[in-house]
Structure 1
Amino acid sequence: MAAGLALSLLAGCASDTSPNDATPEEVSRAAYRHDGPPALTLFTMINNRSGAGAHTSLMVNGSQRVVFDPAGSVRHSAVPERGDVLYGITPRIEDFYARAHARETFHVVIQRIEVSPEVAEKALQLVTTNGPVAQSRCTASTAAILRQLPGFESISGTWFPKNLSDQFGQLPGVTETKLFETDSDDKRKAIEAFEPAASRG
């Protein structure tokens, strides 16, 4: 990746007002298959001051690894996005994605569960055909997808990121970590601090 790659970084469930979807060819070229087991990873962004949930997204590791980032606002020129799905989620891009959300005012709860290949593929199909999500519907859309998966039928509809995180955390086999960082909440400073790191291979 070249230094100075464009990054758009905002907080919370914001509306992506520039529908610059990648082409199917760009998405296909970016496809990345992670060698780990099939898994789903729920990201929940929490406001450090109020304790309220701010955003929900879902990483799917199936025949390729993607992040369903509904109404999301972290975008990178090296990561093709189509229909609120980010493609080419290598370990470096996964790290970038999580750290882009963690700042002095927000931390990220990362919950992971291994699933069967069949469940991972169904999740992949659901997120890639869902289409763009309206502003503030990040959690509702993620919950709606999860509850269609075998083993996730207990997930109930919710608009609240922390509620979905609590429900997800009750599923057998879920592991949880929390990511805290002390970056300035000034988006420009966060971009300047991160882009040089993003350029290193």
Structure 2
Amino acid sequence: MRKLILCLLLPLALMGCSAKSEWASDEIVARMAYREPGPATLTLVTMINNRSGGGAHTALVINASQRVIWDPAGSFEHPRIPERNDVIYGANPEVYNVYKSAHARETFHVVLQEVAVSPEVAEKAFALARQMGPVGQAQCSASTASLLSQLPGFETIGSHLFPKKLMDAFARYPGVTTDKLFENDAGDKATAFSNAEAYQPQTF
């Protein structure tokens, strides 16, 4: 089982903001579609450097008619997780956990700020994410702030070039709940991936 998990996780490449373009097929996207039960939500995901305290990357999880991870200018990749430009589809609990765990390690932790929104707002965020990518290098926070500012209720989010500044601005909105993920994987990517053995994405 260990070898199977390593085969799934080692092809991942992540952290930082680097432009890329992927286009999964209609069949795969439709087959992997997933919606998290409960209210429509937006979750701002911020990767924080444990040594400097600075922000390293921004992403947005959108639970609309389906749950996706918008990973603007991110370099997260997995051969069995469908992506179109910067939108990662099929964000079921297993996929979501793999994404979070791959980013959290000894040198970085992940801050998750979730807020419930109307289905209409979530659907608009989903549509905007599909229109935005692929986002240019080092533009993860700026593009996320731009997307959010187009949503009803978030018009005053402001422009932010840095992940931590956007995280602080998002925290001021009513109803936002915050969670943090810390893991003790070594600082290199390959070790961080191999240590994510707890996640066994059976639906890939």
TM over 0.5: yes
Return the alpha-carbon distance in structure 1 between the equivalents of residues 201 and 33 of structure 2.
20
* Contact 2:40/2:64 (<8 A) preserved: yes
* Contact 1:13/1:137 (<8 A) preserved: yes
Unpaired segments ≥5 residues, structure 1: none
TM-score, length of structure 2 as denominator length: 0.91
State the 1:200 CA deviation.
5.7
Matched, 1:86 2:88: yes
Q: Specify the alignment match of 2:103 in structure 1.
A: 101
State the 1:10 CA deviation.
2.8
* Contact 1:40/1:120 (<8 A) preserved: yes
Return the alpha-carbon distance in structure 2 between the equivalents of residues 197 and 87 of structure 1.
21
TM-score, length of structure 1 as denominator length: 0.92
Q: How many residues align?
A: 198
Comparing 144-153 with 93-102, greater Cα deviation is found at 93-102
Return the alpha-carbon distance in structure 2 between the equivalents of residues 46 and 200 of structure 1.
26
State the 1:20 CA deviation.
3.7
Q: Specify the alignment match of 2:187 in structure 1.
A: 185
Matched, 1:9 2:10: no
What aligned pairs does 1:105-184 form with structure 2 within 5 A after superposition?
105-184=107-186
State the 1:191 CA deviation.
2.1
Q: Counterpart of 2:198 in 1: which secondary structure? A: helix
Q: Specify the alignment match of 1:66 in structure 2.
A: 68
Please report the RMSD computed on the Cα atoms of aligned residues, expressed in angstroms: 1.7
What aligned pairs does 1:13-32 form with structure 2 within 5 A after superposition?
13-16=17-20, 19-32=21-34
Return the alpha-carbon distance in structure 2 between the equivalents of residues 15 and 200 of structure 1.
26
* Contact 2:34/2:66 (<8 A) preserved: yes
* Contact 2:110/2:182 (<8 A) preserved: yes
- Aligned-pair identity in percent equals 54
Return the alpha-carbon distance in structure 2 between the equivalents of residues 129 and 24 of structure 1.
16
